[in-house]
Amino acid sequence: RVYSAMMRHGDNPKLAPAAEAALLESLRAEREIKAHEKMQAEAQRLAVTLAALDLRELPAKAKDLSADKKFGELSGHAAMAITLNTILRRVPHKTDGDDKKPKKPAGKPKAGGGAKVTKVVDVPPCTAAEARKVIRANKVSLAAACDGPAAQLALLRAAQAWLLSANGAVALPGAAKVIEVLYDLDLASEGVLHEFWALVGA
């Protein structure tokens, strides 16, 4: 009968060991994805604030920022994400004002007006070709940060997150080429690259 298949009082609702293990693994993977997405978004936000930073100071600055407790166990990934996102925002861009005469300086601020709040604005998106070029130009800095398979995987995941962000949208059609240049520059080994693609396809 139909009702015989329904759970009755006293039945044990516990899943079978294999099903329980699969459920726990699925929940763990989901939490990890969300944690990485949150970390990548914060790393990208911090990179925007480093527009004027001397890139020679970037490794130390990225390490310092990633030590914040909000990154927790993902501090190493955060440092790499901050590093890559800062570098990708160093592509030269011609602004609308380049062909215009410089504007006259604004008048003196009114007394009692308080400090002027400066809004941090992200740079315009770059193309995949421009991204590859700036990565090649900063190979040494990136190589210094890629001190092992874990760091290499963090670099690839940071590149993926950037490509899926608003700042990387223009470069997205050439995503494979951007990932490929990291391999060509020995910033990611073949084994790490296979691991990365497995994560992407999961």
**Predicted pLDDT at 115:** 53
Q: What are phi and psi of 185, to 5 degrees?
A: -90, 10
Tally of helices (H runs) and strands (E runs) in the chain: 8, 0
| Listed residue (164, 150, 156) closest to 196, CA to CA | 156
* Sole residue written with tokens 């693609």: 197
For the full predicted model, state whether its pTM sits above 0.85. Answer: no
In the chain, the N- to C-terminal Cα span, in Å, equals 40
- Residue pLDDT tens, the chain, 202 long: 444 555 555 555 677 877 777 777 777 667 888 988 999 999 999 999 998 899 999 999 999 999 999 999 999 999 999 999 999 999 886 554 444 444 444 455 555 555 555 567 889 999 999 999 999 999 999 998 888 999 999 999 999 999 999 999 999 999 999 999 999 999 999 999 999 999 888 6
CA distance 164 to 18: 35
